[in-house]
Amino acid sequence: MGMTLGKIAELVGGQLSGDGEIVIEGVGSLTEAEKGEITFLASSRYRNQVSKTKASAIIIGEEVELPEIPSIRTKNPYLAFAQVMKVLVTPRKLPTGIDKTSILGQGVKLGKDVAIGAYVVVENGVVIGDRTVIFPGTYIGDKAMIGKDGLIYSNVTVREEVIIGDNVIIHPGAVIGSDGFGYATEKGKHHKIPQAGTVEIRNGVEIGANVTIDRATLGKTVIGEGTKIDNLVQIGHNVIIGKNCLIVSQVGISGSTVIGDNVILAGQAGLVGHITVGDNAIVGAQAGVTKSVPANTTVSGYPAREHRIAQRMNAQLFRLPKLFEQIKELKKEIEELKEKIK
């Protein structure tokens, strides 16, 4: 299943330099690609490694100077590389069929070509769309609805009545629809608020390994279309997340917070409850967001502030020792002046 470099250039809509007739048989990283493979330059900071690669060709960005080997230049080399991988890497064979050890409850409705692995438990009234694949050991609660072309890995829990759209990927160990953390405290005791709502995961969402998404107290916790969630993220009850967000590993979002479209929450950021984050906002890694973030804003630090301000503060922190010295000097000078005036 090789392909000429010329054909690859056409496929990704890039600009070919060098011999378009060479045949590319596979893909590899800059340092590990072998002869006959194509690689790509993820970041210009690795430019000096290009001369050492054994790859036969390379995909580069527009700003990068032409390398010594045949290349394809393109606006988005990462995207181009993804397209090439889809063609040249043999796709993993997914399981097929309904394993005889899986347990399907009453009234379960399965679409065409659904695959259900060993020891999967699908409770009563669950609906699963065409071509969705469920790996071994996963649990799907009562009346959950799962769309088409989904991929649910092993040891996942989808609790009752959770709604999952089409083309959703859920990685191992994720828990969708656990109870929200809600208690009414009286005389020091915490009384559980029933968590009677659910979770809705819209089309094209990807959910990382061991992620936890709580069901709403009432209504729904919502993950918007095309949003991607990394491993070990926590999403509280009644959170609403917009479309095409990127939520990086170990982020925590507290209850009832509303997040717009195309928002990026970097790793380990934490957001308090009951705030809003506007469209296209970026929250820096480890930021502690204590109030709403306007659209198109980048915030960082704890408590999170506009990134430029946070950076300036950080720089000034560095200059604090100097500040203390300067004040000492000023004091001294004033004392000297006092002496002189006497």
Of 1-9, 62-70, 108-116, 118-126, the window that binds its own copies (rule: CB under 8 A) is 118-126
Diameter of the chain measured on Cα atoms: 101
- φ/ψ (deg, to 5) at 84: -65, -40
Please, where are the H alpha helices in the chain? 5-12, 77-88, 307-318, 320-341
Question: Is 276 near its own copies (CB under 8 A)?
Answer: no
We find the least distance from the C-beta atom of residue 87 to its own copies, in angstroms, to be: 10
Amino acid at 35: K
Question: Is 327 near its own copies (CB under 8 A)?
Answer: yes
Pick the catalytic residue from 191, 237, 274, 307: 237
Q: What is the x/- site pattern for its own copies, positions 19-48, by CB under 8 A?
A: --------xxx-xxx---------x-x---
Question: Is 121 near its own copies (CB under 8 A)?
Answer: yes
Q: Which of 4, 22, 111, 155 binds its own copies (CB under 8 A)?
A: 155
Concerning whether 237 is annotated as a catalytic residue, the answer is yes
Bridge-based pairing state of the strands 305-306 and 298-300: antiparallel
In our burial notation (b when 16+ CB lie closer than 10 A, e otherwise), range 97-128 reads: eebeebebeeebebeeebbbbebbbbbebbbb
Residues in the chain: 342
Q: Which of 17, 132, 221, 262 binds its own copies (CB under 8 A)?
A: 262
Long-range contact pairs involving 157-165 (C-beta distance under 8 Å, separation at least 24): 159/215, 160/123, 160/198, 161/198, 162/198, 162/199, 162/200, 162/201, 162/215, 163/198, 163/199, 163/200, 163/201, 163/220, 164/200, 164/201, 165/200, 165/201, 165/202, 165/203, 165/204, 165/205, 165/225
Question: Is 307 near its own copies (CB under 8 A)?
Answer: no
Count of chain residues binding its own copies (CB under 8 A)? 119
Q: Which of 85, 98, 108, 258 binds its own copies (CB under 8 A)?
A: 85
Cβ nearer to its own copies, comparing 8 with 175: 175
We find the least distance from the C-beta atom of residue 27 to its own copies, in angstroms, to be: 6
Q: Which of 11, 64, 98, 218 binds its own copies (CB under 8 A)?
A: 218
Name which of residues 221 to 260 contact its own copies (CB under 8 A). 226, 228, 230-232, 234, 236, 238, 244, 246, 248-250, 252, 254
Of 65-73, 108-116, 125-133, 327-335, the window that binds its own copies (rule: CB under 8 A) is 327-335
Question: CB-based burial of residue 275 (10 Å sphere; 0-12 exposed, 13-18 middle, 19+ buried)?
Answer: middle
We find the least distance from the C-beta atom of residue 163 to its own copies, in angstroms, to be: 15
We find the least distance from the C-beta atom of residue 332 to its own copies, in angstroms, to be: 10
Q: Which of 67, 129, 260, 270 binds its own copies (CB under 8 A)?
A: 270
The rounded distance, in Å, linking the Cα atoms of 160 and 156 is 13
Residues assigned a catalytic role: 237
